Structure 1
Amino acid sequence: MLTTTLELTADQFAAGTGWEIKPEGACKGEVCVPLGGGDFDLAATAERLGMAIVHDDTSGRWAIGPESLGDRALATAEAPELVLDDIDGNEFRLSSLRGKKVVIVSWAPY
């Protein structure tokens, strides 16, 4: 999930990650992870689900997730929705390639 703020509501978190916040915890399909109750706390929820939270100073954006199993492996091989501008400035959605084999190459200068 990409966002410009960490001030997200539980509904925004659910829309971006698929994890619905319920009284029993964060739930996705048949899996529920207890969160301890109280108001929605993005940082605590992400930590409990094994989601990284990374900030890019240049763009002012935050990347959240996806969840991991034991902090070592992705829970699924299904990529989350990603929307970026292509080289011509047109919106491109990763989901437009769903069902096709895709290789994603990324680079970071650090």
Structure 2
Amino acid sequence: MILETLDLDPAELERRTGWQIKPQGACKGERCVPLPAAGGGRVDARLLAERLGMPLVRDEPSGLWCLGPEAGGRALADVRAPDLELPDVHGRAFRLRSLRGRKVLLVAWASW
């Protein structure tokens, strides 16, 4: 999220990041992170970045700020692999779901 100021409008913040400012703090879905009440109904990007684990950097020449995505969640939303169908070494169709219920090490490789 590119910013010209660190004083954020809550509606704009929600539209661009999904984080909604509520009385209990910054909320996204079922997750809420406490934030102190801000004056004038605005949100301080520095405090938000600190509390949510979002990177915040400034480009000095342009005077712009960049607020990155939160880093406090999991990299994977689910531990289940998608149902893939690929050819095996003999060219026959193989479905990943045939291995469901077993521990599997899936290695992906590309020559490029």
Please report the TM-score for the alignment, with normalisation by the length of structure 1: 0.55
How far the C-alpha of 1:61 sits from its partner, in A, is: 2.1
Equivalent in the alignment of 1:20: 20
Equivalent in the alignment of 2:57: 54
Deviations 1:22-81 (A, max 9, x none): 001101111111113343322112210011110112333211021112xxxx6557xxxx
For residues 63-74 of structure 1, what are the structure 2 equivalents within 5 Å?
A: 63-69=66-72
Instruction: Give 5+ residue unaligned stretches, structure 1.
Output: 78-110
Are positions 1:3 and 2:6 aligned together?
no
The 8 Å contact of residues 67 and 75 in structure 1, kept in 2 or not, is answered as no
Equivalent in the alignment of 2:86: none
Equivalent in the alignment of 1:42: 45
Return the letter of the residue paired with 1:30. E
Query: Greater Rg, structure 1 or structure 2?
Result: 2
**What is the Cα-based RMSD across aligned positions, in Å?**
2.3
Equivalent in the alignment of 2:88: none
Instruction: Describe the shift of the 1:76–1:29 C-alpha distance in structure 2 as closer, same or farther (beyond 3 A).
Output: farther
The 8 Å contact of residues 24 and 32 in structure 1, kept in 2 or not, is answered as yes
Instruction: Give 5+ residue unaligned stretches, structure 2.
Output: 77-112
The alignment covers a number of residue pairs equal to 74
Instruction: Describe the shift of the 1:5–1:36 C-alpha distance in structure 2 as closer, same or farther (beyond 3 A).
Output: closer
Name the % identity: 48
Deviations 1:70-108 (A, max 9, x none): xxxx6557xxxxxxxxxxxxxxxxxxxxxxxxxxxxxxx
Structure-2 separation of matches of 1:7 and 1:37: 13
Structure-2 separation of matches of 1:76 and 1:14: 22
Instruction: Describe the shift of the 1:7–1:36 C-alpha distance in structure 2 as closer, same or farther (beyond 3 A).
Output: closer
